[in-house]
Structure 1
């Protein structure tokens, strides 16, 4: 079997000597499959939000990189993620969002599972009227649970089960934003939206990491939060991004604003920060709201961006919320032509991955270097795929 291979040596050089990841990392299905395991399954990607399953029994089926998953809130209120497949014949258990009132019942042969994943019923498994069989040990046939963790309302998953604990893998970012470790109130239906973009998911990360493009791509934003007001954020192995020293709160016609998060340090009176928590979650924090963008790779050249906005209070002015959503949607939509243009550019066969500005592209280079490190580790394992 031919294994995918790309030369990563230039990517891992110091920024003033490095090239970016080569074209294959954006257009080649074989490399996409390799990164699926090495970069996404082996780490802690974001899948969804806890607000997607707000009440006990809520269940939402999702497909992540071709894998059928089920997110639900069990009877104790804990958010869980399972493979959305029956342990009997692999049938999909839940095919649309719904409330689980009792057990999760397979529509094929009616095997039933608790919301904690235990196999609780196997009708006729031993023959007509015989609901048990010595060869079927229910204790060993519960749903396959995917390791998960909720932070900043994002549901993070480790499909391989081999990553360090989430709190260890993301210790620096959790500490950096400890002041936001408090209840985040999802704004509701008017505070979530989805964008579909024709690009590899990594290009959305790379664009988000840097402020270099602000004057030309986001002139409205740059008019008050200028390029020179921004700073790079770089923590190898965990996250990278940008911050601004000038954050302007949104106000309504009477001058009212969203309430602030309680007990924030003075830094946040004027600052805001935007980072990518590797591999695929784009986060933003401000004194009065936060957001999370979960990038869902739909193939080498397609990505879905699921955007969620959060506030310090459970009740906020709906008109102001809608204006905030529209404002961010405009900013994120302004980036679409850039990431799609870079995607088309990756079909230029002599493009060498590009170079980085040593002053401005540090966060993006750090992400490239991290992706390359994950691939090198993966390739070092015999027969890795």
Structure 2
């Protein structure tokens, strides 16, 4: 299991909300008897732009959000531009090998600094007036600013005119950023999942391929669908043959790590062969699968022979882009020609599952527009994860409109 590394932002990162965003910690599944069948969030939380704007301010701006892949910034001088929640950033590996993230904007006139991936950079140079920054974000050169051929830094305020840093963390092949000036530790947030998957040797995970889905639906409906298996025998009848609904269980490692596990995940072999499996540190054969929502918008799962990471990009209250990335065991599992049919079958299986989810999730979003649907309901037994997810959203964001919500039984 790869270690988590993270870097704190400088003092110029976007400040947190002044409200107290206290977090609870859930270490076990909720008792069904303590859960109301009425959903914690009303449908307005899924359908109004006003609620998404509050999520941007109170949730996304203080959460760890996926930014890019560690493999793209693996060497000193690697630079990758990214956009996170509409904010242009770039991630860089400095000359000492430290991962850093900065707002992608020059302190002079606001030009975007980096527009494409770059390798072996020693400096970041603005294309407009050649203001130059080192890879630690410090302003180092402003030729002609004080006159022709003069290199004096403006008002000797170079310390204040450096790049604005953002907190960054790396886990496995994934790089996350946090706009808060005092972010919570990503290592602490992910620690329970690291411990749970400690027997998996994921050091050989190798990127295979990606997919994209454009949903006419709110991002939370996608997470909620991911967190329950109630729908599997009805929507995913093929999946249910090799990932049985009856063998699935809900998991709550913490309030930020909710998931589903299953005791058997074993598609049929092709030509008598299976994809290479993850080495297990205890030496035992593994046929189970687990997947988790890493709050708020990152979804990850490990199967016996592959791993997926899905990233949600909220676009509007009713539109979300989902990016799906798949990893296999070593170069052989990810690229060997002899396993090409196996990879193709694995990806086709996931495409079928996601096609089915894509349709039904959009139907839910459309149905929420109806005045005949006053409030979602949840099963105390089958949808406890959704209750926990909604409770955390409400803790951070609140309720849309008046605090009181009328429930119709």
Q: TM-score under structure 1 normalisation?
A: 0.86
Aligned residue pairs, count? 363
Are 1:197 and 2:215 an aligned pair? Answer: yes
Are 1:42 and 2:42 an aligned pair? Answer: no
CA distance in 1, matches of 2:276, 2:249: 25
Are 1:338 and 2:365 an aligned pair? Answer: no
Q: Choose which of 311, 327, 337 in structure 1 pairs with 2:328.
A: 311
CA distance in 1, matches of 2:368, 2:195: 37
SS state of the match for residue 156, structure 2? coil
In structure 2, the gaps of 5 or more residues are 1-32, 402-409
Q: Which residue of the partner structure matches residue 405 of structure 2?
A: none
Deviations 1:25-50 (A, max 9, x none): 22222211110122211122223322
SS state of the match for residue 315, structure 1? helix
Q: Which residue of the partner structure matches residue 299 of structure 1?
A: 316
Sort the Cα spacing of 1:152 and 1:363 in 2 relative to 1 into closer, same or farther, 3 A: farther
Q: Choose which of 44, 57, 61 in structure 1 pairs with 2:77.
A: 57
Kept in 1: contact 2:92–2:100 (CA 8 A): yes
Are 1:326 and 2:348 an aligned pair? Answer: yes
Are 1:232 and 2:254 an aligned pair? Answer: no
- After TM superposition, the structure 1 = structure 2 runs for residues 1-385 of structure 1, keeping only pairs within 5 Å, are 14-99=34-119, 101-133=121-153, 135-180=155-200, 182-188=202-208, 191-248=209-266, 251-264=269-282, 266=284, 269-316=286-333, 317-318=336-337, 319=340, 320-349=342-371, 351-376=373-398
Range with bigger deviation, 154-163 or 31-40: 154-163
| 1:114 Cα deviation after fit | 2.4
Sort the Cα spacing of 1:253 and 1:362 in 2 relative to 1 into closer, same or farther, 3 A: same
Range with bigger deviation, 205-214 or 49-58: 49-58
Range with bigger deviation, 44-53 or 192-201: 44-53
Range with bigger deviation, 192-201 or 344-353: 344-353
Sort the Cα spacing of 1:179 and 1:150 in 2 relative to 1 into closer, same or farther, 3 A: farther
Kept in 1: contact 2:70–2:170 (CA 8 A): yes
Range with bigger deviation, 328-337 or 49-58: 49-58
Kept in 2: contact 1:61–1:71 (CA 8 A): yes
CA distance in 2, matches of 1:78, 1:253: 46
Kept in 2: contact 1:234–1:241 (CA 8 A): yes
CA distance in 2, matches of 1:200, 1:227: 25
SS state of the match for residue 357, structure 1? coil
Kept in 1: contact 2:80–2:118 (CA 8 A): yes
CA distance in 2, matches of 1:83, 1:229: 46
Q: TM-score under structure 2 normalisation?
A: 0.81
Deviations 1:126-161 (A, max 9, x none): 122111136133233222121111113221221123
CA distance in 2, matches of 1:45, 1:349: 34
In structure 1, the gaps of 5 or more residues are 1-12, 380-385
SS state of the match for residue 360, structure 1? coil
CA distance in 2, matches of 1:118, 1:27: 43
Sort the Cα spacing of 1:221 and 1:105 in 2 relative to 1 into closer, same or farther, 3 A: same
Kept in 2: contact 1:47–1:294 (CA 8 A): no
| 1:354 Cα deviation after fit | 0.6
SS state of the match for residue 230, structure 2? coil
SS state of the match for residue 183, structure 1? helix
| 1:350 Cα deviation after fit | 5.1
Sort the Cα spacing of 1:347 and 1:90 in 2 relative to 1 into closer, same or farther, 3 A: same
Kept in 1: contact 2:67–2:83 (CA 8 A): no
